[in-house]
Amino acid sequence: MLSAVHTDRTGRVFVSAECTAAGSDGVATVPLERGIPLPADARLVPLAREAEGLDRHGRVRGLGRDRWALGAVLPPGHLRTLHPAYRVGAEPLTSEPCAAVGADEHGSLVAAALVIDAEAVAQPVTEPAALAARIAAALREDSGNRLLRQLARCARESACADARAIFLGTGTGALPVAPAATAALATRRGIERAGPAEPAAFRPSAEEIAAVAIRHLERGAGMVSFGRACDGEPLASVRLMEDAIARIRAATRRGTIHLETDGTHPQALRRVLSAGLDAVTVRLEEGSAGPRRESLLVAAGAGAALSVAVLACPGRTDAPEALAALQALLGALPGGLLILRDGADDPRSDARPAGAGAPIGIAAAIERLARDAPHFRTAAFARPLVAA
């Protein structure tokens, strides 16, 4: 049986001797009965709401006004199954996407989460000195490239995995295009509602974008990508993208040129596909239809590798009506990859869709999607759940 935990205003963590652990399924407070050992690179976040637990009769009780709920922001490759349990306030709680946390019989912390991408979890950590050397070498080679200089800042100061990839020569390298004056170039994977780290000071040229991409692909990396998490919508700069993609493909046929988009510009998407775009990820919101559906069909019709990215939120994504809508959309597509990411909100304060129904649970929703949409793959669970 897992014990409830809470934190105080200084961030110290306490394990309850009286209450068992609880989480929120997006509608109600429920027992936190299983999870995974808290990942070493997870980040604990105190939430300015009274923590909830369950007494020995299974009844929900607050742990005390000054005993705040504790959440865990999970590293890439993980997906939460329950929100932290807390007393709902008058105003929604603005926070990063957090998983509920409990403690096992040894006092070790456990998170309400699944491992759904073993490759992301297993990514090796690059020593800061090695990264700094790679960045310095790249900047010596192309000191006048403003995009490369910005990506160096993103890699050093924001710990952006996709910016770091540009200098390490592995994985997916970021190609932010800053389509609006307020768009950010610093990138953070997985936290879709994270605010821009800084306003963009410039719009990179097609030459600068192509130079960064060509260097990355020619050194054996697999992919470059437009449209990272806190970049703006790249298809708002369709002419710039067309020019950059044409320059990249004129220089090399290696690797994959990928775009992540909100899917609201299907005609612009046609243009960049014609220019040589290889792969497309469309981000969905609940019950997404209209232009997003059209964009998915455009990408599929062009033969691009297709991914559907869903911001997964307990109480929303696993509500029967939302799940049925997603299943219907996937059924209209030829296949590809289904990407599930944590989405941030205050589920019991934010309005839920009318008739959303009782949630079935994130794990059950994934199993249903795997059964009913087998032509879309999701990453397999890499670790078993740790039973309480």
> Hey, what are 378's tokens?
């999701």
Residue range 238-249: average pLDDT? Answer: 97
* Predicted pLDDT of residue 231: 67
State whether 69 and 205 are in the same domain.
no
> DSSP readout, 61-128?
EE--TT-EEEEEEPPTTEEESSEEPB---SSPPP----EEEEE-TTS-EEESEEE--HHHHTPPPPPH
- Flag whether pLDDT at 180 surpasses 50: no
Work out the burial of residue 14: count CB atoms within 10 Å of its CB; fewer than 13 is exposed, 13-18 middle, 19 or more buried.
middle
Determine the Cα–Cα distance for residues 77 and 75; give it in Å rounded to an integer: 6
- Flag whether pLDDT at 383 surpasses 70: no
State whether 92 and 178 are in the same domain.
no
Of 116, 134, 160, the residue at which a domain comes to its end is: 116
* Predicted pLDDT of residue 343: 77
Helix (H) or strand (E) holding 279: strand 279-284
- Flag whether pLDDT at 186 surpasses 90: no
Residue range 226-230: average pLDDT? Answer: 73
* Predicted pLDDT of residue 178: 62
**How many domains does the structure of the chain reveal?**
2
pTM of structure: 0.85
Q: Confidence band (pLDDT; 50, 70, 90) for 196? A: very low
Of 100, 116, 132, the residue at which a domain comes to its end is: 116
- Of the given ranges (123-137, 143-157, 298-312, 343-357), which has the lowest mean pLDDT? 343-357
- Flag whether pLDDT at 354 surpasses 80: no
Determine the Cα–Cα distance for residues 97 and 80; give it in Å rounded to an integer: 9
* Predicted pLDDT of residue 96: 82
* Predicted pLDDT of residue 355: 56
Strands of the sheet with 22-24, listed across from one edge: 29-31, 22-24, 83-84
Helix axes 206-218, 146-157, angle to 10 degrees: 60
CB atoms within 10 A of CB 249: 18
- Flag whether pLDDT at 247 surpasses 90: yes
Decide which of 290 and 45 is more confident.
Answer: 45
Q: Are 235 and 265 in contact (CB under 8 A)?
A: yes
* Predicted pLDDT of residue 194: 36
Q: Are 249 and 224 in contact (CB under 8 A)?
A: no
State whether 202 and 268 are in the same domain.
yes
Q: Confidence band (pLDDT; 50, 70, 90) for 128? A: confident
Q: Are 163 and 187 in contact (CB under 8 A)?
A: yes
* CATH number of the domain enclosing 288: 3.20.20
State whether 146 and 91 are in the same domain.
no
State whether 167 and 205 are in the same domain.
yes
State whether 81 and 147 are in the same domain.
no
State whether 134 and 97 are in the same domain.
no
| Sign of the dihedral through C-alpha 227, 233, 235, 240 | negative
State whether 129 and 165 are in the same domain.
yes
State whether 127 and 103 are in the same domain.
no
Structure confidence by residue, pLDDT tens digits, 17-38: 999 999 999 899 999 999 999 9
* Predicted pLDDT of residue 288: 59
State whether 129 and 271 are in the same domain.
yes
Q: Which residues fall within 8 angstroms of residue 166, CB to CB, at 6 or more apart?
A: 138, 148, 151, 155, 173, 174, 212, 216
* Predicted pLDDT of residue 230: 58
Q: Confidence band (pLDDT; 50, 70, 90) for 200? A: low
Q: Could you tell me the residue range of the domain that residue 379 belongs to?
A: 120-387
Residue range 300-312: average pLDDT? Answer: 92
Q: What angle do CA 202, 208, 211 make, to 5 degrees?
A: 155
Residue range 247-263: average pLDDT? Answer: 96
- Percent of the chain past pLDDT 70, that is, above it, reads 84
Secondary structure (3-state) at 219: coil
- Flag whether pLDDT at 136 surpasses 80: yes
Beta bridge partners of 37: 110
Of 53, 83, 116, the residue at which a domain comes to its end is: 116
Structure confidence by residue, pLDDT tens digits, 215-224: 999 999 999 9
* Predicted pLDDT of residue 345: 66
- Flag whether pLDDT at 151 surpasses 60: yes
Residue range 58-73: average pLDDT? Answer: 95
Q: Confidence band (pLDDT; 50, 70, 90) for 225? A: very high
State whether 207 and 70 are in the same domain.
no
Mean confidence (pLDDT) of the chain: 86
Q: Confidence band (pLDDT; 50, 70, 90) for 351? A: low
State whether 278 and 159 are in the same domain.
yes
Determine the Cα–Cα distance for residues 149 and 130; give it in Å rounded to an integer: 17
